[in-house]
Structure 1
């Protein structure tokens, strides 16, 4: 399966979670910043995962409940175990 994981990250924490989710997905998982996202009209993927600090899904079919991943303070780094938890969450999306 082909996956695209799109993220928005001010301090690098959401990027780290996106990479862990992609690792959990396995297969052909590409991770891109929202600014580098290809046009959705011609996108050829089996699953699109979108993540950001305050993202809300509008007009999309959710395949899983949204998940939160925690950081120390406002800027991070991620709390211990959160990268592995993100990887496991990504694996559950397959």
Structure 2
């Protein structure tokens, strides 16, 4: 099983979650529950725009900013609050990536837990990927952070590992 995780992370929270998901995917394979997992974790700045035929599952994750995926203005605002500069975000990567029919794609995001706050980068990314031409897209999980700069809420990294393990089992059984 080959998995590519493309993520955008400005404060490091989404990278932590993506790393935990990768650990869950690998651990499930090491437990013998699924075939060995080759999991590549790539920041969106370095992500390929053509997804190789060797990839069995594509995960795409990013932070929720202003009710959706980041855009240049929200990334600039985040930089004024201490975020790492990024050349582009998931939004721009989706606009550039070549769709691959039949490839299972699952999105995830990180966001602050505010009651009645609408919007999700995962939902927006799933919609954009479908619009781009990917035909097997699923909106995945949201993982919570305490504040804009983090940290990740206690227990969320364990939940991300468990979700990764679940994804590994689903891919192994062709359910993705």
TM-score by length of structure 1 reads: 0.88
Q: Secondary structure at the match of 1:67?
A: strand
Aligned pairs, number? 93
Mapped partners of 1:24, 1:18: distance in 2: 10
1:37 aligns with 2:47: yes
Aligned to 2:24: 24
Structure 1, unaligned runs of 5 or more? none
Mapped partners of 1:37, 1:2: distance in 2: 15
1:66 aligns with 2:140: yes
Q: Secondary structure at the match of 2:19?
A: helix
RCO higher in structure (CA 8 A, sep ≥6): 1
Aligned to 2:56: 46
Aligned pair in 2 of structure 1 residues 86, 44: CA closer, same or farther (>3 Å)? same
1:52 CA drift (Å): 0.7
Q: Give per-residue Cα distances to partners, 1:11-30, cap 9 Å, x unaligned.
A: 00000000011111111111
Bigger helix share? 2
Aligned to 2:79: none
TM-score by length of structure 2 reads: 0.49
Pair member with larger Rg: 2
Aligned to 2:112: none
